């Protein structure tokens, strides 16, 4: 462990371990298998990179993200670590070079795509060299229920038997109990020590609204909260993504599109620009994001519902990996929910898959319609308890006005029951409001006892109430494709008068708080410090361009801010800056110190 601490400081330039890092590293160093669940930005990479440097042999890292391997290897090279990767993007000659380095024992870390690792050729090569560990990154890809299922991940269980003495560490940022169990089962990790960090991303502010005109509201949000910061906007369709990007560009904010319908080189160019430049917005379908670990994404916005809470958590998790304040903003409409239900029902999938999918959608709708703390709701989904009142979500910051609607809820439930638990929202509302149309008369529903007893609310309010009853499990939507309603498991207490039911009174008006003043710390600098910060930032851009890496590989904004605050004058002082290990001080030290000295002259 002492070696580990030394490497943390000398190579990575960090002072102390975070969260579960030290426990995980200790276990791997002792040769034990590990399953590590840690949120995005929690610092998973160090958990295998440091043991790979401490233990003899090469650390083999399985990653599904080809695009990310290059970034990781670049970042490690910038720290002076000997790393390489093998995947389908690499030329045969380059592959030979990597393999030769591997055989000569000159690699600390080797990143490999899963399908390549399990080839007999690759396994054969690995048989003949000492291996420090296997790291299986994004381990949730073994889960067939998840949105990132990669069948070849299941073949990775071969590592357990073939390299019995080598510790394996599986890592993921997505893990509800089901996924966790699947990882353990599929990868033979029954004996692994499990480390579960809190999944709370405290620096993310969650905001969710329902209603019309999402695009205009998005613009108000961006203009008010993120006039400069980089962001990602997710849309459901390619066409929508194009349209929204045009809209933002017309508003004067540079936005690039990204979706599977674009030429591969256009996609690559847009992704590269997003990584390399400051303050760009990418408007994308979910095709974008796997493999984006740009640390300074300041907001992630959704213009429609994500697919599930896991997807929401993962997509919003791309914001603020650097730990600075950032926003997760979601606007959805009820028609999104209906669309998803139809997709699920009409898909070719097996029934149990459909049932799980509906359940996941229900949970997400529940989060969206919640009147309490979003963070508490979100974490509860991952079996994590949070006391609520987080102070950093829309509902905590501006509690929605609620109304005791227990009586109305009972009327609605009873109407669903009396009309036979098969009609959709519109019909149920018509009965409540006493609309004796032909269908209702034909069905005899103008004679049920709840006909016309709902005068206290209008049709829109009744629909909102029904949606919320669905969201909270008092009602369920039939899987018939027509949105029929039936009583849900949880409605009993409400019907018996043992529980109360509150509804949101109305959509919250857009916040008038003005800019929240939570922008990244560099925004808070004085005029004079700002000039130094900008000078350092241009130096960083030059250094990055010279090495063909994104600026954050040279160093993060956080480090620049620290340099501005502390004005280091010597190499030793630069060492004290977060993120500056030996190699970085050596490579960039002289130029950075010169900029600081010149600025203060
Ligand atoms: P993950 O893979 O879990 O999303 P990363 O491994 O990319 O997260 O780490 C996120 C960021 O936190 C990186 O910039 C990393 O260098 C930084 N980091 C990780 N561990 C530490 C630590 N102990 N101290 C300071 N920064 C750290
Ligand atoms: Zn909250």
23-80 per-position pLDDT tens digit: 999 999 999 999 999 988 889 999 999 999 999 999 999 998 887 888 889 999 999 9
User: What pLDDT was estimated at residue 461?
Assistant: 86
% the chain with pLDDT above 70: 95
- Reply yes or no on whether the pLDDT at 429 is more than 60: yes
User: What pLDDT was estimated at residue 390?
Assistant: 95
115-130: b (≥16 Cβ within 10 Å) or e: bbbbeeebeeebeeee
State the ligand closest to the CA atom of 9. 1
Cβ atoms 28, 167 nearer than 8 A? yes
User: What pLDDT was estimated at residue 450?
Assistant: 94
List for the chain the helix, strand, coil content (%; round to 5): 50, 15, 40
- Of 43, 170, 322, the residue with max ligand 1 atoms within 8 A of its CB, to mutate for a pocket test, comes to 43
The Cα-based distances of 335 to 202, 342, 416, 477 in angstroms read 31, 11, 21, 14
Strands 204-210 and 230-234: unpaired
Range from 49-53, 313-317, 360-364, 578-582 carrying the lowest mean pLDDT: 360-364
Strands 485-487 and 326-332: unpaired
- Residue 323 beta carbon below 6 angstroms from any ligand 1 atom: no
User: What pLDDT was estimated at residue 130?
Assistant: 97
The residue among 199, 195, 175 whose CA lies nearest residue 27 is 195
Sign of CA dihedral 468, 469, 472, 475: negative
- Over residues 392-401, the mean pLDDT reads 92
Give the phi and the psi of residue 565 in degrees, each rounded to 5: -70, -35
484 confidence band (pLDDT: 50, 70, 90): confident
pLDDT tens, position by position, 546-572: 988 888 889 988 899 899 999 999 999
% the chain with pLDDT above 90: 61
357-391: b (≥16 Cβ within 10 Å) or e: bbebbbbbbbbbbbebbbbbbbbbbbeeebebebe
Range from 216-220, 359-363, 502-506, 531-535 carrying the lowest mean pLDDT: 502-506
- Over residues 365-393, the mean pLDDT reads 90
Distance 200 CA to ligand 2 centre (A): 11
- Reply yes or no on whether the pLDDT at 335 is more than 80: no
Cβ atoms 490, 474 nearer than 8 A? yes
- Of 45, 170, 324, the residue with max ligand 1 atoms within 8 A of its CB, to mutate for a pocket test, comes to 45
Distance 399 CA to ligand 2 centre (A): 9
- Reply yes or no on whether the pLDDT at 518 is more than 60: no
User: What pLDDT was estimated at residue 508?
Assistant: 46
User: What pLDDT was estimated at residue 512?
Assistant: 43
Rounded-to-integer distance, Cα 189 and Cα 173, Å: 17
Rounded-to-integer distance, Cα 524 and Cα 546, Å: 30
Rounded-to-integer distance, Cα 332 and Cα 372, Å: 18
- Residue 172 beta carbon below 6 angstroms from any ligand 1 atom: no
User: What pLDDT was estimated at residue 397?
Assistant: 94
521 confidence band (pLDDT: 50, 70, 90): low
380 confidence band (pLDDT: 50, 70, 90): confident
User: What pLDDT was estimated at residue 392?
Assistant: 97
User: What pLDDT was estimated at residue 304?
Assistant: 87
Mean confidence (pLDDT) of the chain:
89
Rounded-to-integer distance, Cα 209 and Cα 394, Å: 9
- Residue 234 beta carbon below 6 angstroms from any ligand 1 atom: no
pLDDT tens, position by position, 194-240: 999 888 999 999 999 887 789 999 999 999 999 989 999 999 889 99
């Amino acid at each position: 462990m002492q070696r580990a601490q030394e490497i943390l400081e000398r190579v990575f330039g960090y002072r102390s371990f975070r969260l579960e890092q030290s426990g995980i590293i200790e276990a791997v160093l002792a040769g034990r298998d590990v399953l590590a669940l840690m949120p995005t930005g929690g610092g998973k990479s160090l958990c295998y990179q440091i043991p790979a440097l401490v233990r003899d042999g090469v650390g083999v890292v399985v990653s599904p993200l080809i695009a990310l391997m290059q970034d990781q290897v670049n970042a490690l090279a910038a720290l002076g670590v000997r790393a390489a990767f093998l995947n389908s993007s690499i030329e045969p000659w380059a592959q030979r070079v990597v393999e030769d380095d591997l055989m000569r024992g000159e690699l600390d870390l080797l990143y490999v795509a899963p399908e390549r690792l399990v080839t007999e050729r690759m396994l054969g090569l690995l048989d003949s060299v000492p291996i420090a560990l296997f790291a299986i990154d994004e381990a949730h890809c073994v889960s067939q229920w998840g949105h990132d299922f990669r069948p070849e991940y299941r073949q990775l269980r071969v590592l357990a038997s073939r390299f019995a003495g080598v510790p394996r560490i599986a890592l993921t940022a997505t893990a509800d109990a089901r996924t966790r169990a699947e990882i353990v089962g599929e990868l033979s990790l029954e004996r692994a020590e499990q480390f579960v960090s809190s999944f709370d991303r405290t620096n993310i502010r969650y905001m969710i609204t329902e209603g019309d005109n999402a695009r205009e509201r998005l613009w108000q949000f961006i203009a008010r909260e993120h006039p400069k910061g980089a962001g990602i906007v997710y849309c459901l369709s390619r066409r929508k993504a194009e349209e929204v990007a045009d809209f933002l560009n017309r508003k004067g904010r540079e936005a690039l599109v990204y979706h599977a319908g674009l030429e591969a080189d256009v996609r690559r160019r847009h992704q590269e620009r997003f990584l390399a430049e400051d303050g760009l917005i990418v408007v994308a379908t979910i095709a974008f994001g796997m493999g984006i670990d740009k640390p300074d994404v300041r907001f992630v916005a959704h213009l429609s519902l994500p697919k599930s809470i896991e997807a929401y958590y993962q997509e919003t998790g791309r914001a603020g990996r650097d730990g600075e304040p950032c926003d997760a903003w979601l606007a959805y409409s009820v028609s999104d929910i209906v669309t998803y239900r139809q997709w699920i029902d009409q898909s070719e999938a097996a029934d149990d898959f459909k049932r799980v999918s509906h359940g996941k959608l229900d949970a997400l709708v529940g989060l969206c319609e919640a009147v309490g703390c979003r963070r508490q709701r979100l974490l509860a989904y991952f079996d994590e308890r949070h006391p609520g009142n987080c102070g950093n979500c829309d509902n905590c910051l501006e509690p929605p006005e609620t109304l005791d609607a227990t009586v109305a809820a009972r009327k609605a439930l009873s109407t669903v029951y009396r009309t036979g638990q098969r009609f959709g929202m519109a019909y149920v509302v018509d009965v409540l409001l006493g609309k004796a149309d032909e269908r209702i008369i034909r069905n005899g529903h103008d004679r049920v006892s709840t006909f016309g007893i709902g005068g206290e609310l209008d049709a829109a309010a009744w629909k909102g109430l029904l949606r919320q009853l669905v969201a909270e499990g008092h009602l369920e939507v039939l899987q018939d494709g027509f949105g029929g309603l039936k009583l849900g498991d949880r409605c009993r207490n409400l019907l018996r008068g043992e529980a109360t039911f509150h509804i949101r009174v109305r959509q919250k008006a857009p916040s008038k708080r003005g800019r929240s003043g939570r922008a990244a710390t560099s925004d808070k600098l004085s005029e004079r410090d700002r000039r130094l910060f900008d000078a350092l930032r241009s130096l960083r851009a030059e250094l990055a361009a010279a090495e063909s890496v994104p600026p954050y590989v040279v160093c993060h904004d956080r480090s620049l801010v620290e340099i501005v605050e502390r004005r280091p004058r010597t190499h030793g002082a630069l060492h004290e800056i977060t993120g500056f290990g030996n190699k970085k001080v050596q490579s960039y030290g002289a130029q950075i110190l010169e900029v600081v000295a010149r600025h203060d002259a």
